[in-house]
A = this chain, B = another copy of it.
Amino acid sequence: MIKEITFQELNPSQFINEKVNEIRDIVGNGTAINALSGGVDSSVVTMLGHKALGNNLKTVFIDNGIMREGEPAQVSGFFKELGVEVSIVDARDSFFTALKGITDPEEKREAITQTFYKDVFGKLVRESGAKYLLQGTILTDVDETVAGIKRQHNVFEQLGIDPQEAFGYRIIEPLIQLRKDSVRKTGEALGLPKELFDRIPFPGPALSARVIGEATPERIETARKATVVVERLLKNTGAFQYMAILHEDRVTGIRDGKRDFGQQIEIRCWESKDARIATPTNLPFETLQKLANDILDEVPGIVSVTYNIASKPPSTIEAV
């Protein structure tokens, strides 16, 4: 049973000191490795590990090819300013190979998870020689699993590491007693930049969740370009979440007087407190027109743009 540290109980600087010492005690003169995604949890773990181990922590940022425009450079840039070196690992080919031919949303998610753990991060862990693995697991992640030991065993399994054979691997989870609000509070105390916390919620399967149908490099690039426009024009709306979705259906368009059987982008912009119920944002008509015009101008192959007007339920926030 893991003992929760509540938001009220949390003393961030004391918590940071304790965790830094714990990590140092466990790893000693060894080396540790962790994967940074740019989310709050993995960012806080990276800072704690860096404070504890300095250059004995290897932090990797895995570019899976389905991130937003400039995301790997932006995240590693934040950490460079804090004195933390992050290795960007180009694993785009591995992910696109795994996603080839898959159209079912659940199968896409599974392919991304499998590729991340087994093919890419598992290999990095084994090759690094590091025996200590820092993970940003939080209490909410644990709630639904049976017990800590079984869960940790599962992580090894996901990484393709047999703990019997490869004796001595150990997983360190410094945030396991915290919930999201406490992680944020700790992150602020660690000096993580405001932009890291302000970034809009983004799904695990990243842009592959923003294309209906197969996530090819070309289709992901189309969704990425449309996402640039949507984030640029909607970032100051105060909306809960906003996104561009590439449809698979073909619709008729006309370019230079000729029929152009093209693609459609759907924009969703949500008002919500906790994502359980959500309604479309009442955007000014000029904003909708600007969104459509900029996407039609800047995103090759798009001839049609729509705006979602259905609420959740029965809709959901993401389309796939």
Measured CB to CB, the residues of A under 8 A from B are 105, 212-213, 247-255, 260, 262, 266-267, 280, 282, 285, 288-289, 291-293, 296, 303-316, 318-320
Contact = CB atoms under 8 A, between A and B. Distances in A.
5 contacts: A247-B247, A249-B249, A253-B314, A304-B319, A306-B308
A308 B306 CA distance: 4
B314 A260 contact: yes
Q: Which of A248, A303, A308, A309 has the most chain B CB atoms closer than 10 A to its own CB? A: A309
Contacts of A282: 285
| A-B interface, 5 closest residue pairs, ranked by CB to CB distance from nearest | A306-B306, A292-B309, A305-B310, A282-B285, A288-B309
Given A213-B249, A247-B247, A255-B314, 7 more contacts: A212-B250, A212-B251, A254-B313, A292-B309, A292-B311, A303-B314, A305-B308
Contacts of A280: 288-289, 292
Contact of A307 (B213, B289, B306, B316): B306
B307 A307 contact: yes
B306 A254 contact: no
A306 B309 contact: yes
A251 B319 contact: yes
